[in-house]
């Protein structure tokens, strides 16, 4: 990868490489969407229109939506760096791009994958559970901010666990406590979006969390991905 | 230094005695339950301080790459977990008296439980890496990253949802809502617990360093 390329061009190249790799092994991508569909079917069967009436579960719906989004994304998020170690391509990638560029590219890929999961899951969730969203722009803002926070934290943690034993279990152990402060305001903002306008503390907390996590990941990327 | 260590024992004894004898029980609390503030809040403070110390020593390791900094960081996390568990236990006792059950999923209760998970994960992460240099590097990166996001867990997330928790120390007015005797004993307890933490940190770090040196000399003899 030429050093003359700018930061974003090189990060985009890493993202495109990951996308090409994932699309080549279609089973990995398909399994993520299959997981989301299964979780959605299970939730709508248990608490759908005939389970709990829609007007009684506006708060529950927001939590269930984020549970589906989080666990669907969690099946793919740890793979960002783990895949490089498993296929033996980590050393090559270290030689051609600095840690911060690789982290940015992989976080971008995870973010786009999260948006793809959300683009399919949210409309399906809305139809199957008769979930009405009054502020669609508000929900979009929450999904963008929540998705970026989830992607950057997960990608950074994936770099940390990539060369440890029991990686996949370890990823869940280390990621869950760090992601709760993101998921709580995301759920609170989603409730606001379904009831009307998104405003106030939860969305600001979400934005602040994203900013803090992005800065910390940027500063520590080289250490996390060091050989 | 030795003078301060000798002073700590009578000081801690005086704080414990004063906590039970000097201030009147606070209004709005059942019986003597408000006295738990002299132990519960200092434990919570000490836990947060320990995790900040761990982050500071992790930064020092990242800059200097000396094993002694990693020893202190890991020891600080272990002690932080001890004080965080004590915070949860003392908080549960208070919750049983005031709210009728040991656990109520109050946002602040839950945030300390998650803090225990967050730093237990640090120990899991270290245990999963066998190479000491890589273990220190990954542990340091995680400790710094966790310290950046910790305020969202401890200070911000509990304010996003409604809480049953008393607001005597952390509240929207930004004031400590206590009378003078309570405030005096409270700050003395904070100082005593802080002193105790740094003493324990010094002893435990020394033990960790000796353990590392013994392991290294054992390897040298075996080789």
Of A45-49, B20-24, B52-56, B173-177, the one with minimum mean pLDDT is B173-177
Cα(A153)–Cα(B211) distance, integer angstroms:
34
* A2 occurs within a structural domain: no
Which helix (H) or strand (E) segment is B46 a member of?
A: helix B37-64
* A89 occurs within a structural domain: yes
> Could you identify the residue written with the tokens 């790459």?
B65
Cα(B11)–Cα(B4) distance, integer angstroms:
10
Note the residue count of chain B: 223
Q: Is it the case that residue B168 has pLDDT exceeding 60? A: no
* A139 occurs within a structural domain: yes
Q: Count of alpha carbons within 13 Å of B25, Cβ hemisphere only?
A: 8
Please list, residue by residue across B2-30, b when 16 or more beta carbons sit within 10 angstroms of its beta carbon and e when fewer do. Answer: eeeeeebeebbeebeebbeeebeebeebe
Cα(B123)–Cα(B120) distance, integer angstroms:
5
Q: Is it the case that residue B205 has pLDDT exceeding 70? A: yes
Nearest to B128 among A165, A177, A184 (CB): A165
What residues make up the domain containing A213? 7-224
Asked if B138 lies within 8 A of A201 by C-beta distance, the reply is: no
Cα(A224)–Cα(A217) distance, integer angstroms:
9
Q: B26-42: per-residue pLDDT in tens?
A: 777 777 777 888 889 99
- What pLDDT is stored for residue A151 in this prediction? 93
Nearest to A160 among B138, B156, B161 (CB): B138
Query: Which distant-in-sequence residues (6+ apart) come within 8 Å of B137 by Cβ?
Result: A223, A226, B62
- What pLDDT is stored for residue B173 in this prediction? 62
* A1 occurs within a structural domain: no
Instruction: Give, in degrees to the nearest 5, the angle at Cα A140 between A142 and B154.
Output: 0
Contacts of A176 in chain B (CB under 8 A): 117
Nearest to A220 among B115, B141, B161 (CB): B141
- Residue among B154, B119, B202, B139 nearest B45 (CA): B154
Total tally of structural domains belonging to chain A: 1
Q: B40-64: per-residue pLDDT in tens?
A: 999 999 999 999 999 999 999 999 9
DSSP state of B35: G
For A157, name the nearest residue in chain B, comparing CA atoms only.
B142
Is residue A185 within 8 A of residue B160, CB to CB? The reply is yes
- Residue among B147, B156, B136 nearest B62 (CA): B136
Using 50, 70 and 90 to split pLDDT, how confident is the model at B83? very high
Task: Quote the distance between the C-alpha of residue A57 and its chain's center.
Answer: 25
Cα(B76)–Cα(B71) distance, integer angstroms:
9
- What pLDDT is stored for residue B86 in this prediction? 95
Write down the domain spans for chain B. Answer: 34-163+176-222
pLDDT < 70 stretches in chain A: 1-4, 49-51, 55, 198, 227
Which helix (H) or strand (E) segment is A20 a member of?
A: helix A7-24
> Could you identify the residue written with the tokens 């009147």?
B24
* A149 occurs within a structural domain: yes
Cα(A163)–Cα(A43) distance, integer angstroms:
35
Is residue A226 within 8 A of residue B138, CB to CB? The reply is no
- What pLDDT is stored for residue A34 in this prediction? 87
Task: Give the residue from A63, A146, A167, A177 with the most B CB atoms within 10 Å of its CB, the best one to mutate.
Answer: A177
């Amino acid at each position: 990868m030429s050093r003359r390329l700018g930061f974003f061009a090189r990060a985009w190249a890493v993202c495109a490489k990951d996308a090409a790799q994932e699309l080549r092994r279609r089973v990995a991508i398909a399994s993520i969407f299959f997981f989301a569909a299964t979780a959605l079917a299970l939730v709508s069967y248990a608490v759908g229109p005939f389970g709990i009436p829609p007007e009684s579960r506006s708060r529950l719906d927001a939590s269930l939506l984020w549970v589906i989004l989080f666990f669907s994304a969690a099946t793919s998020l740890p793979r960002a760096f783990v895949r490089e170690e498993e296929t033996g391509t980590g050393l090559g990638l270290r030689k051609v791009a600095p840690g911060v560029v690789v982290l940015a590219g992989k976080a971008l890929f995870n973010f786009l994958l999260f948006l793809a999961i959300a683009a399919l899951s949210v409309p399906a969730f809305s139809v199957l559970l008769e979930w009405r969203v009054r502020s669609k722009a508000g929900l979009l803002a929450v999904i963008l901010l929540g998705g970026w926070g989830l992607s950057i934290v997960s990608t950074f943690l994936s770099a940390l666990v990539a060369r440890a034993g029991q990686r996949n279990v370890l990823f869940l152990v280390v990621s869950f406590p760090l992601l709760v402060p993101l998921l709580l305001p995301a759920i609170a903002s989603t409730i606001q979006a379904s009831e009307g306008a998104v405003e106030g503390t939860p969305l600001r907390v979400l934005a602040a969390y994203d900013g803090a996590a992005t800065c910390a990941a940027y500063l520590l990327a080289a250490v996390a991905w060091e050989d | 230094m030795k003078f301060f260590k000798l002073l700590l024992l009578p000081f801690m004894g005086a704080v414990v005695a004063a906590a039970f004898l000097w201030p009147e029980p606070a209004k709005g609390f059942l019986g003597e339950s408000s006295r738990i503030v002299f132990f519960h809040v200092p434990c919570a403070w000490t836990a947060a301080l320990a995790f900040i110390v761990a982050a500071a020593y992790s930064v020092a390791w990242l800059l200097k790459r000396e094993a002694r900094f990693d020893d202190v960081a890991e020891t600080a996390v272990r002690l932080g977990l001890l004080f965080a568990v004590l915070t949860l236990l003392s908080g549960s006792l208070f919750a049983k008296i005031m709210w009728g059950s040991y656990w109520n999923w109050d946002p602040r209760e839950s945030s300390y439980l998650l803090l225990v998970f967050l730093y237990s994960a640090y120990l899991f992460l270290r245990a999963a890496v066998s190479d000491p240099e890589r273990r220190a590097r990954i542990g340091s990166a995680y400790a710094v990253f966790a310290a950046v996001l910790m305020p969202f867990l401890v200070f911000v997330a509990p304010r996003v949802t409604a809480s049953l928790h008393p607001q005597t120390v952390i509240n929207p007015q930004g004031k400590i809502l206590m009378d003078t005797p309570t405030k005096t004993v409270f700050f003395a307890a904070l100082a005593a617990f802080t002193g105790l933490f740094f003493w324990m940190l010094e002893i435990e770090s020394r033990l960790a360093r000796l353990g590392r040196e013994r392991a290294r000399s054992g390897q040298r003899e075996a080789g």
